[in-house]
Structures are given as C-alpha cells and as structure tokens.
Amino acid sequence: MVSISPAADTGLAAMPLEFAAFCELHRPRYLSYAKVWFHEPTAAGRVVDQAFCTLAQVWPEVLGSSNPTAIAWQILRSTVAECERPNSEPLAEHRPAPADEDLAILHYVVGLAAPEIADVVGAETASVAGQLRHALRRMPQEW
C-alpha cells in the first residue's frame, strides 16, 4: 500500500484514472530505488513525487508513446540524478536501455526479479536478464 498518495501530496487530484493507477503501481518500486540514492525516506519520497509531477506534465504524450513505462523510468532517473547532483548534467532522457547499474540496484539492493525489473523500466525480460548477467561480471566497485 502506498503511504503517500501522489494525488493528495502533489496536487494531482485532477489527473486521469490511468495516471493515478500508474503512480499507485510504480511508486513503491520507484521509492525503493530512490532510497538507495537518498538514504532519508522523506528525501526519497520528495524526489519520487517530483518525478511524478514531471510525468504528469507530459502524461498525455507519454501515454500515447510506444513505451510509457520506459519514458516514466527515464524521468525518474533524470530526477534522481538532478536532485543528487544539482549542478551536473542530468542523465540522458532516452537511452536505448536502462543502465546496468540501475538494473543491479533494482535486483541486488531492492530485491526485484528480472520480470519485475522489466516491468518497472519498460524493457524486455530477456534483455534485463542479459544485462544483469553482464553487470554481475563487473566488479561491484564499478557500479
């Protein structure tokens, strides 16, 4: 269950039902990812809420795209990077695939299986599994 309603806390009450459902589905996983970067739960929650606000601004276009989940994930990643390093360049908005580091975090730190990760980042399960194998071969200090 979501502890903070995105609609209630971010002024998104007028958003379509599809957006509310998307937020409800993805918020727990997004929050788990953000907690890796922002160890304080309140700070992580603010970053996720900020990402959802950004997503809300482009929701009709995102929903009409071929992969709304992948675009939403990139918005979250960009928001995390921007908040973590406010004076540096944000992550590229439309990388062809999620970074190995993100997948490793979602798998080894957050505890998601490859199909769950694929659902969160908007990728194919086989691709995620292959990238996880590649990430496992790398030294953890490289993540």
The string of pLDDT tens digits covering residues 88-117 is 444 444 343 457 788 989 998 999 999 999
Report helix, strand or coil for 71.
Answer: helix
Would you state the pLDDT for residue 85?
A: 60
Task: Tell me what the mean pLDDT of segment 39-67 comes to.
Answer: 95
Residue 69's alpha-carbon distances to 41, 79, 100, 117, 136, in angstroms, are 23, 15, 17, 11, 25
Q: Kindly tell me the sign of the dihedral angle through the C-alpha atoms of 129, 136, 40, 77.
A: negative
Count CB neighbours of 28 within 10 A: 14
Q: What is the spatial distance between Cα 100 and Cα 83, in angstroms, rounded to a whole number?
A: 21
Collapsed DSSP state (helix, strand, coil) of residue 105: helix
Q: Take residue 23 and report the two structure tokens written for it.
A: 């937020």
Per-residue pLDDT tens for 7-41?
444 455 577 899 999 999 999 999 999 999 998 99
Confidence band, pLDDT 50/70/90 cuts, at residue 86: low
Q: How wide is the angle at C-alpha 77 spanned by C-alphas 90 and 55, nearest 5°?
A: 100
Model pTM score: 0.77
Percent of the chain at pLDDT exceeding 90: 60
| % of the chain surpassing 70 pLDDT | 76
Which residue reads 């007028």 in tokens? 14
pLDDT band at 134 (very low <50, low <70, confident <90, very high): confident
Give the per-residue pLDDT at 2: 30
